[in-house]
Structure 1
Amino acid sequence: MLSLVMLCLALWALRNLGSDVSYRQVARYVHGLEDWRIALAVLLTALSYGVMTLYDWFGLAAIGRRLPRAQVSLISFISYAFSNALGMALLISGSIRYRFYIQAGLSTAEVAKVVLHCTVSFWLGLSALTGVTLLLVPVPLTLPLAQLRLPVAVLLTLIPLLWLFGNRLMPRPLRVWRWRLSMPSTASAARQVVTGAVDWGLAATVLYLLMPNEVDTGFGHFLAIFALAQIAGLISHVPGGLGVFEAVMLAGFGATGNEGLEAPILGALAAYRLIYYFLPLLAATLLVVVREVRGLRSKALLAPWFTNLLPPFFAVLTLVSGAVLLFSGATSALHSRMDILRGVLPLSVVEVSHFLSSVVGMLLLILARGLLRRLDAAYVLTLVLLVVGAVLSLLKGIDYEEAMLLSILALGLAPAHQLFYRRASLFDTSFSVRWVVAILAVLGCAGWLVMFSYKHVEYSRNLWWEFSFYHGGAPRALRALVGATAAGLLFALAHLMRPARPRIHLPTEAELVKALPLIKHYSSAQAHLALTGDKTLLFDPEERAFIMYDIEGRSWVAMGDPVGESDEARRELVWTFREQCERAGGWPLFYQVRPEDLDLYLEVGMNLLKLGEEARVRLDGFNLDGKSKKVLRNTVNKLTRDGLRLEIVPVEAVADLLPRLKPISDAWMRDKKVREKGFSLGTFDPHYLCRTPMAVVWQGDEPVAFANLFLTDSKEEASLDLMRHMPDGNAGIMDYLFVQLMLWARQEGYRWFNLGMAPLSGLHSRRTATLWSRFGAMVFGRGERFYNFRGLYRYKDKFDPEWESRYLAVPTNIALPMALANVASLISGGLSGMVRR
């Protein structure tokens, strides 16, 4: 929101400061720049980006790591090319460095140190250059806050000085919370300050070289204004300081007696943007596309976190390409190029091409969201529109620069089809508020550019119907803007008129029958919880997988991972479920998901919180031998001598047995003073219990304990859900039930026996752990009065299980306490169940 407000203020300031400036004047200055100036500016830009690589070199040296020179230079160039153009340098350059340095073998902590070193060097150089310049050069008193020049100069100069001599002032490491900060040596600090100052000095020299000769300021005055404008742009967080930097530069030069030179100054700033920001960004994009496309051929790089980076990358570039087409449609073509077209094409072709190019630009803004959602249709349409947009750019004004940009993106996107695998409709894709604001911001900037470019054209109704090679720029821009706006509104209308989301309902008998084969063939026995009938089932269109979920408050909670053997169907269901939740204004949550499926949730941008650990006993090694099993062995032997025996009752015989088991369940609940739970636990419901086999412990002719069984056809896993026994029965009867079931399952050929989850186990309270992990570890250790966390873990651990982590997948920016309360409410059977047993 701050960036958006700053952008609007900057555009308003630019409009006021350049009220007498026309787009033609700005374009005339840019195209009139001498070739030697442009060549020298490009050379100095390359030198500046070369100096930036020293940030990474010195950062790696500071942590004692060495990497190949070419590799470090490539990483540094790509990170700064993107962060300079897109803003938010710490986030963007830090993310890119993390991506590449992790591949190069650095640890997360080492990458963080390199990023911190580069960021500090970046700001130290700017601070030193600005401070010294303000000390030596008296800025005009008409500049805003000019009276504070000396205090600001002293403060900015003092920061790098303190950094230079910090190791002498603070020889011991400074402890800040859980971190220890050591000041660098004087030599290392000097390298940081000098590198940053040279980098910023070269950047300023590039712009100074492009400025008009008539600007009556020395390099010192220019450098002071430049540094202050850069600081304002960086603080605003507007991508590349766009608009903010230009507004401060215009205000600064206007206050130094350069009135009437606004058009040449804006022309110099536009050329500076192209040379210092756009050309490196284009080169870095080419390098990344080539590198990543090559990486797709290497199986070693096809990790989930790797492939997750490319769709957002292509989505951002598509968004930028759409903005370029819209901005190009808002301005007039060069007269020299229109002269060429006049002798080759009829006017109607030029008019139609100009109109359609802006429509294509708007469609690319919309399709970028589809690329982010990995939609196959969005991929195909984007590829087609990029090619069409490149052709239209040539036909409307021989804009070969735009055509080249769109063609390069199309070439990079073409081999990445496998990353866009979803067959969902683009109209079913949800558009977040931020995404809508981004599209509206681009469209608003295009409208502002139309007003700025043709503000000297007198508006009339006849303007819409004027067609001309030389005097038709304004009508073409207006028609193109209306066409782009209409395309966006039509899509929004079609999106609003999509079918209503399906109504939530409990599964029918037919749905449960349809789900049963998927449950039986799934690797996890916990999929049988779908048979409880208290959760809605969401199937994929081909019915190869399903998600079981329920709703509490704003939380749409899916129990476990998608159930099914088809990875493609399961992956698509996660996307479908999330989009269905977003359309309804809900929070998608996946409860108790397994480690092997975490990529399903990371791919859709969800966070993962560890809930605890699940106990799974490997049956081929399970027995009662050894000293550690002495207590279990004695319990089983004693109860066997007392006449207890285990019977596995098949599904078809369970219904007749339930009347004899009901008293056991009622007595157990009265003794425990609890009520039936739900969602992740079954209840004593005949419709549910008759769908699974039953394990019954008999003493003579009377049942004394029972548990319903979850058995997979693949015999990968066996488990149980509802466990009840007579309160006044034999001591150790549940141990007897578990042991006998495991021995039976081993004999039947099952690989694992699932004992269920121990909540909050395996969470740590180390200083480096997350806040959630430390909170969970505290509750696990001290929350016995609310729930028997430790006791449950110790009970299951005596069977020597292998503990496997289970997670909660949640969206970003969620009200986590409320979401956790909603999950607890579902399991407890309502809010009252959370406070009552």
Structure 2
Amino acid sequence: MNRVIGLFLDSLPGTSQGNERRVEQEKVEQVPRTDDALNPPSQRAVLLRRVAGPLLSVGLLVLALWGLRQFARHVTYHEIREYVASVSRARLLLAIVLTTLGFGVMSLYDRFGLKSIGRSLPWRRVTLISFISYAFSNAVGMSFLVSGSIRYRFYLQNGLSTTEIAKLVLYCTLSFWLGLLALTGVTLLVEPLPALVQVGEWQLHMGYWRIPLAVALAAVPLAWVLGGFIRKPIRLWRWRVLLPRPLSALRQVLVGALDWWLAAAAMYVLMPDSLHASFGHFLAIFVIAQIAGLISHVPGGLGVFETMLLACFHATNDKHLTAPIIGALAMFRVVYYLMPLCAATMLVLQREARGFRKQSLWSPWFSGLLPSFFAGLTLVSGAVLLFSGATRALPERMDILRDVLPLSVLEVSHFMASVIGMLLLILARGLQRRLDVAYWATLVLLVVGAVFSLLKGIDYEEASLLALLAMALAPAHRLFYRRASLFSTSFSLGWIVAILAVFGCATWLVMFSYKHVEYSNSLWWEFSFYQGGASRALRSLVGAAAAGLLFALAALIKPQRLRRAPPSETELERALPLIRHFHSAQAHLALMGDKRLMFDADGKAFLMYDTEGRSWVTMGDPVGEDEDARRELVWSFLEQCERAGGWPVFYQVSPDDLDMYLEVGMNLLKIGEEARVRLEDFNLDGKSKKTLRGTINKLGRDGLRLEIVRADEVAPLLPRLKEISDAWLADKNAREKRFSLGAFDPRYLVRTPMALVWQGEQIVAFANLFLTETKEEASLDLMRFVPEGPSGIMDYLFVELMQWAKREGYRWFNLGMAPLAGLTSRRQAPLWNRFGALVFGRGERFYNFQGLQRYKDKFDPEWEPRYMAVPGGIALPMILANVASLISGGLTGVVRR
């Protein structure tokens, strides 16, 4: 579940209109340390880090469920329900009031955090943002990631910069933990813990370490407050931190402590009177159990919190105490976690409904957030159906059904509801991947599931949940535009773990709810309104498992199309019309034949890519005029990389298409700027062009002339051009590049027109041309000249080509990219930008960065940024090395010219 929500919240907002500048200036990237780049982690270490977190959470969940089984082995489901029914409405209302006050206190985190960074927003807006972020983070765990991501999206809309949001999230997280540590430490100093905690045969002596633990925990917030008297920055590892003033620090601690105190009070009023524990004693156990749940990273501390609480209250063999405590825990989960989550969900959906009705309220970031948001709710809905099928129906509702429904309808409805629950868990992944088929299937199953929920036990609560989600999903069809098959969708380890965890919890519920029923083979074939609950639960569980296994089998036997061979002549001919009609002349690099081609299902677009190590690198944006086909290619390429265990990388992409990569959760690195000359404004007039004008006039008097040769006339010229190319490479002591540049390959050169510079009867320079049939852009790729040729021959070639293209009606002439140009080294700039600016300014001994930019600048181009879209995480050092190796033709080419 954590991984699912992580994926949901990692989908960043798209860029449109004014958002491009924000992506460039505010996207914070992490650059690895030098020693990490020189000694990258092994693939085994990377894999271990990827799977360790989810597997640890699942392991702790399994351990917690085992602990709950130990405590509840003498407790029946009926006893728990009986206690829940006995809780008075006054106590339940008091718990709701305390929960409401608790969320009100949580809003102080944001209000004081905004004050600390010198910003102010209306208190209603701040309260709403705080409520939504904490409602989700409390329920799904990983508070820093979940609440931080939600705050990022909301506060970005309200004018805060990325740096300000990061400071605010850090302030709230620190307040959260400082308050918990302070309350825990002080409470443990005052109230003793049980001397011995026992779970089955496992024992823990807590009396020995209570005081040392209390002192250690209380020392942290105390040091934070006292550190405010030191008005100089304190160095913590690689950071310099200026602690807040004592009054501000004390306010952080008090707000956090009050938040946790109210949470404990909300649960305390639901606890049974037979507990015979003072609030102070209960508070000590509550905060210890909460810390254990937070450390486990299990969503909401589910199972871990309950096990710790039962263990500390010595409820192992006392079913008269265990059943009421479990009932109180269930009610606390509903009041403190589920009800706020439902309320926050309705607020978000209401906000989104306004956006559908009024386009001006629609924000780009929300279009990226909603598919994953719906995926998370669909996952929850599937879990609700599975859990409902694993537990008993209410007897009074069964009495009603007995009088109006045949038994066969009840049995089929119960079975199908659980099967639909498993299918919703699977379809959630398709929604997150924006699949059209997943949208329609989910919409139908939600409606059918709501009907079955009513028929199997008049479960109107879960039917309402499914119906509300269906109504919210119905108008959002345009967000799910992909036509790919659900069976071709890859399921990450996090998704698989989430589905298995939900199914495992449902299995545990079946065993707990019907543990008093003695198992026999005949149990599978018993059908009854009153005595058939166990049979229905078993059959439903097997049906859900069968649905999941059948889907997995269908996905496994589906043939995988992982083509990694170089393109054939047929494929190049298929790509040629798309290349010629594309707005960017860079698409002609596909004709080099050194990159694999990946087409969409209808052949309306393609992308070119190559692999180096684990990096699968595309060259430029998908090529084609059909926007839907281009977007689908990005998703398909991402899924292909996931199946192959590779890292997807989109190299040298343009600002116009950044939303396609942000939509799939990629991070952006600005890698330079591309120079494009607007041809209608190009001329050699003016004082600034005096030197260039003189060079061109001189070379014209020396007999230089330009000739444009059609592609079908290039082949006879290749032997003469080969001599020029070899001489140029030898003079420059260089080697052929590849991937982002062309090489002298006859098969490649005969596919494009050629520009020749003659001096008398001798060819002194040549360049192959990239020309679009739409006349949008012209460019050149491979440019070579004789070493003994006249000075200024490159200037002559560029100017003559631009004047020719202008006469032919082309709009732009592309001069190519200046690597690392346009990156700033300001203090507030992202770390990657500062690193790139440093290399650009001081890396002349390795590459002529500034010289290349200055040379192109004399043609008065318009500079347009170019980006590289990469996955987040620790793979960045290896990706950068792989891309450099790919372009340079191998590792030796990285250090050679």
Is the TM-score greater than 0.5? yes
Partner residue, 1:500: 560
Partner residue, 1:552: 612
Q: Secondary structure at the match of 1:704?
A: strand
Compared CA separation, residues 394 and 654, structure 1 to 2 (3 A): same
Q: Which of 300, 311, 314 does residue 254 from structure 1 map onto?
A: 314
Amino acid at match of 1:351: E
Partner residue, 2:665: 605
Q: Secondary structure at the match of 1:261?
A: helix
* 2:783 pairs with 1:723: yes
* 2:138 pairs with 1:78: no
Partner residue, 2:117: 63
Alignment: residue pair count: 836
Matches for 1:142-221 after TM superposition, within 5 Å: 142-143=196-197, 144-167=205-228, 169-174=229-234, 181-221=241-281
Partner residue, 1:102: 156
Report the CA distance between 1:452 and its aligned residue.
1.9
Structure 1 Cα separation of the partners of residues 97 and 848 of structure 2:
70
Q: Does the 8 A contact of 1:216 with 1:257 survive in 2?
A: no
Partner residue, 2:338: 278
Q: Which moved more, 1:188-197 or 1:71-80?
A: 188-197
* 2:564 pairs with 1:510: no
Partner residue, 2:7: none
* 2:379 pairs with 1:325: no
Matches for 1:368-383 after TM superposition, within 5 Å: 368-383=428-443
Q: Does the 8 A contact of 1:140 with 1:256 survive in 2?
A: no
Matches for 1:223-372 after TM superposition, within 5 Å: 223-254=283-314, 260-300=320-360, 302=362, 304-372=364-432
Percentage identity across paired residues of the two chains: 70
CA displacement, residues 762-821 of structure 1 (integer Å, 9 cap, x when unaligned) = 334555554544444444344444433333333223323222222222233463333333
Amino acid at match of 2:207: A
TM-score, with normalisation over the residues of structure 1? 0.95
Structure 2 Cα separation of the partners of residues 752 and 701 of structure 1:
31
Amino acid at match of 2:774: S
Q: Which of 185, 189, 201 does residue 135 from structure 1 map onto?
A: 189
* Residue segments in structure 1 that go unaligned for 5+ positions in a row: none
CA displacement, residues 701-746 of structure 1 (integer Å, 9 cap, x when unaligned) = 2211111111122222111011111111111111111111122222
Amino acid at match of 1:695: A
Q: Secondary structure at the match of 1:537?
A: strand
Partner residue, 2:490: 430
Q: Does the 8 A contact of 2:71 with 2:317 survive in 1?
A: no
Compared CA separation, residues 591 and 220, structure 1 to 2 (3 A): same
Structure 1 Cα separation of the partners of residues 680 and 656 of structure 2:
22
Structure 2 Cα separation of the partners of residues 156 and 787 of structure 1:
53
Structure 1 Cα separation of the partners of residues 271 and 399 of structure 2:
29
Structure 1 Cα separation of the partners of residues 159 and 388 of structure 2:
43
Structure 2 Cα separation of the partners of residues 200 and 677 of structure 1:
61
Q: Which of 711, 719, 731 does residue 651 from structure 1 map onto?
A: 711
Report the CA distance between 1:496 and its aligned residue.
0.6
Q: Which moved more, 1:258-267 or 1:442-451?
A: 258-267
Structure 1 Cα separation of the partners of residues 663 and 789 of structure 2:
50
Partner residue, 2:880: 820
Q: Secondary structure at the match of 1:812?
A: coil
Structure 2 Cα separation of the partners of residues 568 and 257 of structure 1:
62
Compared CA separation, residues 835 and 205, structure 1 to 2 (3 A): closer
Report the CA distance between 1:177 and its aligned residue.
7.0
Partner residue, 1:91: 145
Q: Secondary structure at the match of 1:546?
A: strand
Q: Does the 8 A contact of 1:85 with 1:239 survive in 2?
A: yes
* 2:774 pairs with 1:701: no
Q: Does the 8 A contact of 1:305 with 1:599 survive in 2?
A: no
Structure 2 Cα separation of the partners of residues 302 and 623 of structure 1:
44
Q: Does the 8 A contact of 1:217 with 1:256 survive in 2?
A: no
Matches for 1:749-788 after TM superposition, within 5 Å: 749-788=809-848
Partner residue, 1:635: 695
Structure 2 Cα separation of the partners of residues 256 and 217 of structure 1:
17
Report the CA distance between 1:175 and its aligned residue.
5.5
Partner residue, 2:736: 676
Q: Which of 629, 634, 651 does residue 574 from structure 1 map onto?
A: 634
Q: Does the 8 A contact of 1:305 with 1:602 survive in 2?
A: no
CA displacement, residues 299-337 of structure 1 (integer Å, 9 cap, x when unaligned) = 445554331111111111111111111111111112122
Structure 2 Cα separation of the partners of residues 620 and 834 of structure 1:
39
Partner residue, 1:532: 592
Partner residue, 2:174: 120
Amino acid at match of 1:59: G
Amino acid at match of 1:356: M
Report the CA distance between 1:55 and its aligned residue.
2.2
Q: Which moved more, 1:383-392 or 1:194-203?
A: 194-203
CA displacement, residues 53-102 of structure 1 (integer Å, 9 cap, x when unaligned) = 22222222333333223212211111111111111111111111121112
Partner residue, 2:28: none
Structure 1 Cα separation of the partners of residues 360 and 500 of structure 2:
40
Report the CA distance between 1:152 and its aligned residue.
2.5
Q: Does the 8 A contact of 1:82 with 1:92 survive in 2?
A: yes
Compared CA separation, residues 797 and 217, structure 1 to 2 (3 A): same
Partner residue, 2:446: 386
Report the CA distance between 1:41 and its aligned residue.
1.8
Amino acid at match of 2:521: R
Compared CA separation, residues 199 and 824, structure 1 to 2 (3 A): closer
Report the CA distance between 1:361 and its aligned residue.
0.6
Q: Which of 865, 871, 887 does residue 811 from structure 1 map onto?
A: 871
Structure 2 Cα separation of the partners of residues 480 and 279 of structure 1:
27
Amino acid at match of 2:206: L
Structure 2 Cα separation of the partners of residues 185 and 158 of structure 1:
17
Amino acid at match of 1:142: L
Compared CA separation, residues 104 and 502, structure 1 to 2 (3 A): closer
* Residue segments in structure 2 that go unaligned for 5+ positions in a row: 1-52, 198-204
* 2:501 pairs with 1:441: yes
Q: Does the 8 A contact of 1:293 with 1:416 survive in 2?
A: no
Q: Does the 8 A contact of 1:708 with 1:720 survive in 2?
A: yes
Q: Which moved more, 1:530-539 or 1:649-658?
A: 649-658
TM-score, with normalisation over the residues of structure 2? 0.89
Report the CA distance between 1:245 and its aligned residue.
0.7
Matches for 1:49-60 after TM superposition, within 5 Å: 49-60=103-114
CA displacement, residues 586-626 of structure 1 (integer Å, 9 cap, x when unaligned) = 32222211111111111111222222222222223323334
Q: Which moved more, 1:448-457 or 1:383-392?
A: 448-457
Partner residue, 1:565: 625
Partner residue, 1:17: 71
Compared CA separation, residues 281 and 320, structure 1 to 2 (3 A): same
* 2:467 pairs with 1:407: yes
Report the CA distance between 1:392 and its aligned residue.
1.1
Structure number with greater CO (CA < 8 Å, separation at least 6) is 2
Q: Which moved more, 1:690-699 or 1:824-833?
A: 824-833
Compared CA separation, residues 363 and 113, structure 1 to 2 (3 A): same
* 2:504 pairs with 1:458: no
Q: Which moved more, 1:311-320 or 1:627-636?
A: 627-636
Structure 2 Cα separation of the partners of residues 749 and 157 of structure 1:
75
Amino acid at match of 1:118: C
Structure 1 Cα separation of the partners of residues 570 and 117 of structure 2:
63
CA displacement, residues 524-573 of structure 1 (integer Å, 9 cap, x when unaligned) = 11111112222222222222211122233333222110111111111111
Report the CA distance between 1:829 and its aligned residue.
3.6
Q: Does the 8 A contact of 2:270 with 2:328 survive in 1?
A: yes
Partner residue, 2:20: none
Partner residue, 1:791: 851
